[in-house]
Amino acid sequence: MTEIRSNRIQYIENLFLNHDVTISKTQAEKFYDFYSLLIEKNKSVNLTAITEFEEVVIKHFLDSVSLVRNISMENVKLMLDLGTGGGFPGTPIKMLYPHIDITYVDSVDKKLKFISECCEKLDLGEAKICHARAEDLARDAEYREKYDLCTSRAVADLSVLSEYCIPFLHENGIFAAYKSGDSEDEINGAKPAIKELGGKIIDVDEFEWEGMHRKIVLINKVKKTPAKYPRKAGVPKKNPLGK
């Protein structure tokens, strides 16, 4: 093992442990390998704008798993990551919690292929990837009202995102939206939409990790989503609910 590799693996392990995220040496090694795969693939497919090692580890890996602050991952079985792109937050969560069955959804196919490759190379089992738009997939009975947890980072405004994500949850499921620190107005503005879709905000966890100022909005599905949602592809974004 080269010195750079072992230093970097140690960095990942320490960083996660400093934030009370449990990680083994083997998992830290996998995160390092994941970083290498990401940087290699990023030469041909636009997966990430940031490539510097520590920045990727903080802004993609640590950020993705920050959800453990709020959710007992041990109890999650079926999860859907909407607009996963290069696999965030889905893949880092899978690396720490391999028992979770994750469906990765994105409307861009090239990015999804990278997730499949990663899962294979990092020994995470076969990835369930879905090349689809949320609005279409959430109308498919195989996916609708099935999931314990739906995650989404950097995809859309919260009212739009709620229409994409809440339909996938079964009653009592949780939608976790990764939002920036200054998303107060966006969150307040999304409340009517969330209610209409059968959800209820149960917590907004605000924190700063390594200079990243985040809000994770936790929405509980308290009743079924009316059958008319999500509306046709493109409509939620063009005409957000409750606006």
Q: How far is the CB of 155 from ligand SAH (least distance, A)?
A: 4
Task: Using CB under 6 A, pick the residue from 105, 150, 190, 217 that binds ligand SAH.
Answer: 105
Pair 177, 193: CB distance under 8 Å: no
C-beta of residue 104 within 8 angstroms of C-beta of residue 129: yes
Where in 158-177 is the site for ligand SAH (CB under 6 A)?
Answer: 164
Which own/partner contact pairs does 191-194 have at CB distance under 8 Å and 24+ positions apart? 191/242, 192/159, 192/241, 192/242, 193/158, 193/159, 193/162, 193/163, 193/240, 193/241, 193/242, 193/243, 194/158, 194/159, 194/162, 194/166, 194/219
**Of residues 24 and 234, the one with the C-beta less far from ligand SAH:** 234
3 state DSSP class of 200: strand
Nearest distance from C-beta of residue 143 to ligand SAH, angstroms: 12
Q: Would you give the binding string for ligand SAH spanning residues 77-96, x where CB under 6 A is met?
A: ------xxxx-x--------
Spatial contact of 166 and 198, defined as CB atoms under 8 Å apart: yes
**Min separation Cβ 100 and ligand SAH, Å:** 17
Please name which of 105, 99, 128 lies closest in space to residue 116, comparing C-alpha atoms: 128
Phi, psi of 168 (to 5 degrees): -75, -20
Nearer residue to ligand SAH within complex by CB, 13 or 81 = 81
Q: Which of 4, 45, 50, 108 binds ligand SAH (CB under 6 A)?
A: 108
Binding region for ligand SAH (CB under 6 A) out of 30-38, 68-76, 107-115, 166-174: 107-115
Q: Which is nearer to ligand SAH, 83 or 199 (CB)?
A: 83
Residues 116-135 touching ligand SAH, rule: CB under 6 A, are: 133-135
Binding site for ligand SAH (CB under 6 A): 83-86, 88, 105-108, 111, 133-135, 153-155, 164
